[in-house]
Structure 1
């Protein structure tokens, strides 16, 4: 028995040859085990599971009886028999690797006007489910509604982002509105499904926009870096003005020389500490409410 593995959506060739490729068998058939007590069912391209998906590929060799199956599905997995009357038969076991979704779900936060990617992946990027849909939960009807990409609500705002990976089923939503918030489902039918909760908030205020990146900064090292930068700036200004001492604008040149260097930097650091403390606690109080 020959063992062959393939992925859903691909094509596969089940080999069957006469020892002499120029001979033509009197009659032969391809069959598949129907998994109900070793009963073999004849494969036909005219009906059933294999309609318009199978064809014989013999080229210019009458003795080549190989069978090509395209648009593979997980249901194509099984044992196949190439039966040549009065000449024998061969068995082929075909395994189709289908899509198994990664993760059970996640929560994503985004802001209005921006874009967000709702992730949905097969564990094997080469696999692709036979069929899948993106759904959104409708609270008014308590039902899951399919997201039609062509409707007014989503037109030109949503698209599937798979690149060159058939197993990437992710959905990109752009120009977000608060109405886009809610529960989403990536439903890959027999391959499973995952839930994603999307929360969409209004645009960041100035305080939030400043506080958000600053909260991640180490407070004391940030102040130290600020002092160093201020020293450099003041030193440059001081020497620049000193070099212009012979200019007509002497009053301006004398101004920075009169600045007490260390106290100026110290006051600036204290001022920055106060600003950062206010921003940090404002942001923290908002998160607690």
Structure 2
């Protein structure tokens, strides 16, 4: 039986991280994050770094139908699922304890649950659930008047002045 890339990476994660599960972590917490369509969001995840230790960070995305491995720091060149390709990035400060995930160009479909797991030397030290909610772009109020630029109008009276006033009222 052939494994898909995602299945192979998940298996690699299990083998390399000594079966990291939520039960292995002392603290499981839940965080809510919101963003706007087209914008970006940072999904927070942190841990207390231990110098010289082997750190592995994994981010998963969950939907009603399935789960997807987004990022596995031990295999940074692993393919990212198509819907997040070019839009997700692990923090550059992982060795300093910041395992946050940046998602750019948010879409409404990015609304879902995400999980961050951090393992040090194969032992789970952080397990965080993040609920991302993406809102649509702000609706424009069609009743808002737009400001029109006009040239200054003369305050003089008479035919010539009236013609200049008509010209002044034209949009620039």
TM class, shorter-length? 0.5 to 0.7
Structure 2: tracts of 5 or more residues without a match? 1-24, 72-78, 145-153, 158-172
Deviation at 1:123, TM superposition (A): 3.3
Between structures 1 and 2, the one with greater helix share: 1
**Structure-to-structure mapping, 1:46-195, within 5 angstroms:** 104-124=29-49, 130-141=55-66, 144-148=67-71, 150-163=80-93, 165-189=95-119, 190-195=124-129
The whole-number CA distance in structure 2 between the counterparts of 1:123 and 1:159 is 20
1:175 aligns to what SS in structure 2? coil
Aligned to 1:204: 138
The whole-number CA distance in structure 2 between the counterparts of 1:176 and 1:108 is 12
- Number of corresponding residues: 113
Structure 1: tracts of 5 or more residues without a match? 1-99, 211-247, 252-289
The whole-number CA distance in structure 2 between the counterparts of 1:173 and 1:125 is 27
Using the size of structure 1 for normalisation, the TM-score is 0.33
Deviation at 1:202, TM superposition (A): 0.9
- The structure-2 alpha-carbon separation of the partners of 1:122 and 1:205, relative to structure 1 and needing over 3 Å to count, comes to same
Deviation at 1:162, TM superposition (A): 2.7
State the Cα RMSD in Å: 3.4
- Report if the CA contact (8 A) 1:128-1:167 is conserved: no
- Report if the CA contact (8 A) 1:131-1:188 is conserved: yes
The whole-number CA distance in structure 1 between the counterparts of 2:29 and 2:116 is 10
- Report if the CA contact (8 A) 2:115-2:129 is conserved: yes
1:153 aligns to what SS in structure 2? helix
- Report if the CA contact (8 A) 2:27-2:127 is conserved: no
- Report if the CA contact (8 A) 1:104-1:195 is conserved: yes
